[in-house]
Structure 1
Amino acid sequence: MIGIPEIEAAAERIAGHVVRTPTLASPGLSTLLGVPVITKLELLQRTGSFKSRGATARLLSLSEAERAAGVVAVSGGNHGIALAVMAAALDVKATVVMPRSAPARSVEIARDAGASVRLTDGMDEAFELVGRLRDEGLTLVHPFDDPVVIAGQGTVGLEFAEDAEEVTDVLVSIGGGGLIAGVAAALRARRPGVRIWGVETEGAEAMSRALAAGGPVPVPLSSIVTTLSAPTVSQLTYDLVSSLVTEVLVVPDREAVRGCLELAEHAKVWAEPAAGSLLPAARRVLERVGPDARLGLVVCGGNATPGDVFGWSREFGLLP
Structure 2
Amino acid sequence: MIGVEDVEAAARLIAGHVVRTPTVASPGLSALLGVPVTTKLELLQRTGSFKARGATAKLLTLGEADRAAGVVAVSGGNHAIAVAVMAESLGVKATVVMPKSAPAHAVEIAESAGAKVHLTDTMDGAFALVSRLQADGLSLVHPFDDPVVVAGQGTVGLEFAEDVAAAGGGALTDVLVSVGGGGLIAGVATALHARLPGVRVWGVETEGAEAMSQALAAGGPRQVALSSIVTTLSAPTVAQITYDPVSALVTDVLVVPDADAVQGTLDLAHYGKVWAEPAAGCLLPAARQVRQRVGDGARLGLVLCGGNATTQDVFRWAERFGLR
TM, length-normalised to structure 1: 0.99
Equivalent residues in 2 for 1:262-277 (5 A)? 262-277=267-282
Structure 1: state its 5+ residue gaps.
none
Letter in 1 for 2:2: I
- Following the alignment from structure 2 to structure 1, what is the Cα–Cα distance between the partners of residues 122 and 78? 16
- Following the alignment from structure 2 to structure 1, what is the Cα–Cα distance between the partners of residues 79 and 197? 29
Equivalent residues in 2 for 1:68-147 (5 A)? 68-147=68-147
- RMSD after superposition: 0.5
Q: Secondary structure of 1:114's partner?
A: coil
1:313 corresponds to which residue?
318
Q: Secondary structure of 1:28's partner?
A: helix
- C-alpha displacement at 1:4, in angstroms? 1.0
Letter in 2 for 1:101: S
Q: Deviations over 1:129-170 (max 9, x none)?
A: 000000000000000000000000000000000001511000
Q: Secondary structure of 1:40's partner?
A: strand
- Out of 161, 169, 173, the position equivalent to 1:168 is 173
TM, length-normalised to structure 2: 0.98
Q: Does 1:285 align with 2:290?
A: yes
How high is the sequence identity, in percent, across the aligned residues? 76
2:194 corresponds to which residue?
189
- Following the alignment from structure 1 to structure 2, what is the Cα–Cα distance between the partners of residues 200 and 51? 17
Q: Deviations over 1:89-118 (max 9, x none)?
A: 000000000000000000000000000000
Q: Secondary structure of 2:54's partner?
A: helix
Q: Secondary structure of 1:171's partner?
A: strand
Q: Deviations over 1:165-213 (max 9, x none)?
A: 5110000000000000000000011112000000000000000000000
- Out of 216, 231, 237, the position equivalent to 1:226 is 231
Say how many residue pairs are matched. Answer: 319
Letter in 2 for 1:4: V
Q: Secondary structure of 1:60's partner?
A: helix
Q: Does 1:28 align with 2:33?
A: no
Deviation larger for 39-48 or 160-169 = 160-169
Q: Secondary structure of 2:160's partner?
A: helix
Give 4+ residue runs of structure 1 displaced > 2 Å after superposition: none
Q: Secondary structure of 2:39's partner?
A: strand
1:14 corresponds to which residue?
14
2:241 corresponds to which residue?
236
- Following the alignment from structure 2 to structure 1, what is the Cα–Cα distance between the partners of residues 53 and 66? 19
- Following the alignment from structure 2 to structure 1, what is the Cα–Cα distance between the partners of residues 197 and 96? 37
- C-alpha displacement at 1:76, in angstroms? 0.1
- Out of 300, 304, 308, the position equivalent to 1:303 is 308
- Out of 157, 178, 184, the position equivalent to 2:183 is 178
1:153 corresponds to which residue?
153
1:62 corresponds to which residue?
62
Equivalent residues in 2 for 1:35-46 (5 A)? 35-46=35-46
2:266 corresponds to which residue?
261
- Following the alignment from structure 2 to structure 1, what is the Cα–Cα distance between the partners of residues 163 and 210? 31
Letter in 2 for 1:24: V
- C-alpha displacement at 1:10, in angstroms? 0.3
Q: Deviations over 1:44-63 (max 9, x none)?
A: 00000000000000000000
Q: Does 1:209 align with 2:214?
A: yes
Letter in 2 for 1:261: L
- Following the alignment from structure 2 to structure 1, what is the Cα–Cα distance between the partners of residues 5 and 227? 38
Q: Secondary structure of 2:204's partner?
A: strand
Letter in 1 for 2:255: V
- Following the alignment from structure 2 to structure 1, what is the Cα–Cα distance between the partners of residues 58 and 30? 36
